[in-house]
A = this chain, B = another copy of it.
C-alpha cells in the first residue's frame, strides 16, 4: 500500500529549513537564497514530493482548478480545444475539471453552477449553441471565458469566421467562379451567421446574381449536405462552386456530386470549413478553412487566468485568424455550362424525392 506521501514538513526537515522557506522555494517565490532554494528543490525531488492539492487549495482560499464546460464532446473541434486548454492550464499549475453536459442541448442542471463556483476558479465554456447557461454561472460568481460564442457577454475567444469565409469565397472568385452556392446551418450559432454574412456580402459586392436559390439551409451534417447539394445541382442554372458551412456538409456535397456524376473539381468546386481530420482524406481531398483550435483553447485559459489575476483582458473578444487550406476539391470552372446529361445516373435507390425537403 502506498505509505503516506511526502509532505512539505518532511522536505523542510530534510533540508534543515522551516516549512515556510520550503514552500517559498517550491513555489518560485522570492525570499529564498539561491543556495537554499536549490537544496530544497533537490531534496523535494529526491523525496518525490508532490504538493497536496486539497491542502494547498484550502489554505490559499481558492482552488487551482479551471472548469471546462463541454456541450457536445462529439463535435470534432472540441477535441483540439480541450488539448490546448489542458496544456495551458497544466503549465500554469492548474488542473482541469471536466463538466460535460450529457445532451448537447441540455440545460445546465440545477446546482451545477454553484458547484462550479465552489470547485473551480473559472470556467471555459465550449457551449456554442446556447448561451443561457452564462448568466447562471455568472450569478454563481464564476468567471467564464467563452469559446466561439460571444453572445452571452464577457470574454470570448473565437475564430474569424467572417474573414475565413471570405477567404474561401475569394479563392473561388479568383478561380473564376461566378455562381457560388452556399449551404448554411441553423442561425443559432454565430459562426454560421458570420459565414453566411460573408457569402451574402461577397454576392453583393461582386454584383453576382441575387439568386436566393443559391442559398440552402442545412444543419451541419453530412446528410443534409448531401440533400442540399442535390437541390443545388438540380437548379436550372446550377452553381459551379459550393461553399459549405462546415466540413461534414461539404463531404455530403462530395457524395452527392459523385452520385450525380458531377466531377469534383472539374464540374464543381467545393469548399468546407473547420478542417476536420477527414477533410484531408476525402476524394478529392477537401479545400477548407482551418481554425487554430488548439491555440484558441490555450488562449481561453490564459485569458481566464489573466481575468482571475485581476488583469483586464486586452479586448472582450479575442479573434484568431483562420487559414485557407487549398486541397483538391477546387479548380477553375469549365468554360461551358455544367453538363447535366449524367445527372440521374445511379440515383435509382437514392433519396431523390427528399432532395426538395431540405
Contacts and interface: CB of A to CB of B under 8 A. Distances in A.
Interface string A102-115: 10000000010011
Given A83-B100, A350-B283, A117 B221 contact: no
A95 B119 contact: yes
B118 A98 contact: no
Contact of A277 (B74, B82, B87, B119): B74
How many copies of this chain are found per oligomer? Answer: 2
A135 interface: no
Given A79-B73, A97-B97, A50 B281 contact: no
A82 B52 CA distance: 26
Contacts of A73: 78-80, 82-83
A221 B278 CA distance: 8
Interface string A48-69: 1011111111100001000010
B79 A281 contact: no
Contact of A222 (B87, B96, B115, B278): B278
Interface residues of A, number: 60
Given A53-B118, A95-B119, 6 more contacts: A5-B117, A51-B118, A53-B57, A53-B63, A74-B79, A86-B98
A12 interface: no
Nearest to A67: B95
Contacts of A350: 283
A207 interface: no
A176 interface: no
B96 A97 contact: yes
A281 B223 contact: yes
A236 to B, nearest CB: 25
Nearest to A252: B281
A111 B63 CA distance: 20
A73 B54 CA distance: 28
A227 to B, nearest CB: 10
B141 A2 contact: yes
Contacts of A115: 50
16 contacts: A5-B117, A5-B118, A50-B114, A50-B115, A54-B56, A54-B58, A68-B98, A73-B79, A73-B82, A74-B277, A83-B102, A86-B99, A86-B102, A97-B98, A226-B281, A248-B281
A117 B259 contact: no
